[in-house]
Amino acid sequence: MLRSLRIISPSGFNRTRPRLFSSLRSLTEQDVSHLASILPSTPIISTFSPFNNSKDELDSFNTDWMKKYHGNSTTVVKPRSTEEVSQIVHWCWENRVAIVPQGGNTGLVGGGVPLKDELVINLGNMNKIRSFDPVSGILVAESGCVLESLSEYLAPKGHIMPLDLGAKGSCQIGGNVSTNAGGLRLLRYGSLHGSVLGLEVVLPDGTILDQLSTVRKDNTGYDLKQLFIGAEGTLGIVTGVSILTPAAPKALNNVLLAVPNFSKIIPIFRTVRAHTSEILSAFEFFDRTAYEIVCRHGHRRPFQEDIGDAQCFILLETSGGRKEHDEEKLNDLLGTLMNSEENLITTGVLAQSPFQFASIWAMREGITEALTKEGKTYKYDISIPSGSFKDVIDEIREHLRAQGVYPEGGVKAVLGYGHFGDGNLHLNVVTDGYSPKIASAIEPRIYEIVSRYRGSISAEHGIGSHKTGVLHYSKGEVSRAWMKKIKDLFDERGIMNPGKVII
Ligand code: FAD
Ligand code: MLT
Ligand code: ZN
Domain ranges of the chain: 6-123+486-490, 129-244, 251-367, 375-461
Alpha-carbon distance 242 to 258, whole Å? 40
349 forms bridges with which residues in the sheet?
Answer: 256
C-alpha separations of 44 from 32, 41, 332, 443 in Å: 9, 9, 59, 39
Q: Pick from 118, 319, 299, 78: which is nearest to 204 by CA?
A: 118
* pLDDT in the model for residue 8: 38
Handedness of CA 476, 438, 402, 266 (dihedral sign): negative
How far does residue 21's CA lie from ligand 3's centre (Å)?
Answer: 32
46 forms bridges with which residues in the sheet?
Answer: 75
Starting at the earlier edge strand, list the strands of the sheet with 411-419. 347-350, 251-259, 312-320, 280-287, 411-419, 424-431, 376-383
Overall average pLDDT of the 182-208 stretch? 98
**Ligand 2 binding pocket mutation candidate from 108, 297, 419 (most atoms within 8 A of CB):** 108
For domain 6-123+486-490, give the fold.
Answer: 3.30.43
Query: Tens digit of pLDDT for each residue in 453-470?
Result: 999 999 999 999 999 999
C-alpha separations of 198 from 33, 225, 376, 462 in Å: 35, 6, 38, 21
332 pLDDT higher than 70? yes
pTM, 2 dp:
0.96
Average pLDDT, the chain: 95
**Ligand 2 binding pocket mutation candidate from 106, 367, 428, 460 (most atoms within 8 A of CB):** 367
* Ligand nearest to C-alpha 416: 2
* pLDDT in the model for residue 20: 84
How far does residue 418's CA lie from ligand 3's centre (Å)?
Answer: 6
How far does residue 418's CA lie from ligand 2's centre (Å)?
Answer: 7
How far does residue 44's CA lie from ligand 2's centre (Å)?
Answer: 32
- Contact, 38 vs 48, CB < 8 A? no
Give the phi and the psi of residue 276 in degrees, each rounded to 5: -100, -20
Q: Whose CA is nearest to atom 9 of ligand 2?
A: 368
* pLDDT in the model for residue 17: 52
Q: Whose CA is nearest to atom 44 of ligand 1?
A: 107
Query: Tens digit of pLDDT for each residue in 358-382?
Result: 999 999 999 999 999 999 999 999 9
For domain 129-244, give the fold.
Answer: 3.30.465
**Ligand 1 binding pocket mutation candidate from 60, 64, 165 (most atoms within 8 A of CB):** 165
282 pLDDT higher than 80? yes
For the chain, the C-alpha Rg in angstroms (whole number) is: 23
Query: Tens digit of pLDDT for each residue in 41-93?
Result: 999 999 999 999 999 999 999 999 999 999 999 999 999 999 999 999 999 99
The secondary structure of residue 250, as a DSSP letter, is S
185 within ligand 2 shell (Cβ under 6 A):
no
Count of other CB atoms within 10 angstroms of residue 463: 25
Alpha-carbon distance 395 to 42, whole Å? 51
Q: Which CATH number fits domain 251-367: 3.30.70.2190, 3.60.15.10, 3.30.70.3450, 3.40.50.720?
A: 3.30.70.2190
254 pLDDT higher than 50? yes
How far does residue 251's CA lie from ligand 1's centre (Å)?
Answer: 29
- Burial class, 436, CB count within 10 angstroms (exposed 0-12 / middle 13-18 / buried 19+): middle
199 pLDDT higher than 50? yes
Tell me the CB-side half-sphere exposure of residue 455, using CA atoms within 13 A. 26
How far does residue 264's CA lie from ligand 2's centre (Å)?
Answer: 23
* Ligand nearest to C-alpha 203: 1
- Contact, 147 vs 154, CB < 8 A? no
Overall average pLDDT of the 156-178 stretch? 98
In the chain, what's the furthest Cα-to-Cα distance?
75
368 within ligand 2 shell (Cβ under 6 A):
yes
281 within ligand 1 shell (Cβ under 6 A):
no
Q: Whose CA is nearest to atom 35 of ligand 1?
A: 167
- Contact, 334 vs 351, CB < 8 A? no
Q: Whose CA is nearest to atom 2 of ligand 2?
A: 418
Is it true that 129-244 and 375-461 share their CATH fold? no
For domain 375-461, give the fold.
Answer: Alpha-Beta Plaits (3.30.70)
Query: Tens digit of pLDDT for each residue in 91-107?
Result: 999 999 999 999 999 99
Q: Which of 7-21, 140-154, 228-242 has the lowest mean pLDDT?
A: 7-21
Region for residue 468 given its phi and psi (left: phi exceeds 0; alpha: psi -120 to 50; beta: otherwise): alpha
215 pLDDT higher than 50? yes
- Contact, 227 vs 120, CB < 8 A? no
Q: Pick from 378, 390, 380, 382: which is nearest to 454 by CA?
A: 382
Nearest-atom number in ligand 2 for the CA of 183 is: 2
Beta strands in 288-432 (DSSP E): 312-320, 347-350, 376-383, 411-419, 424-431
Query: Tens digit of pLDDT for each residue in 6-47?
Result: 333 444 443 445 578 999 999 999 999 999 999 999 999 999
142 within ligand 1 shell (Cβ under 6 A):
no
111 within ligand 1 shell (Cβ under 6 A):
yes
106 within ligand 2 shell (Cβ under 6 A):
no
- Contact, 22 vs 113, CB < 8 A? no
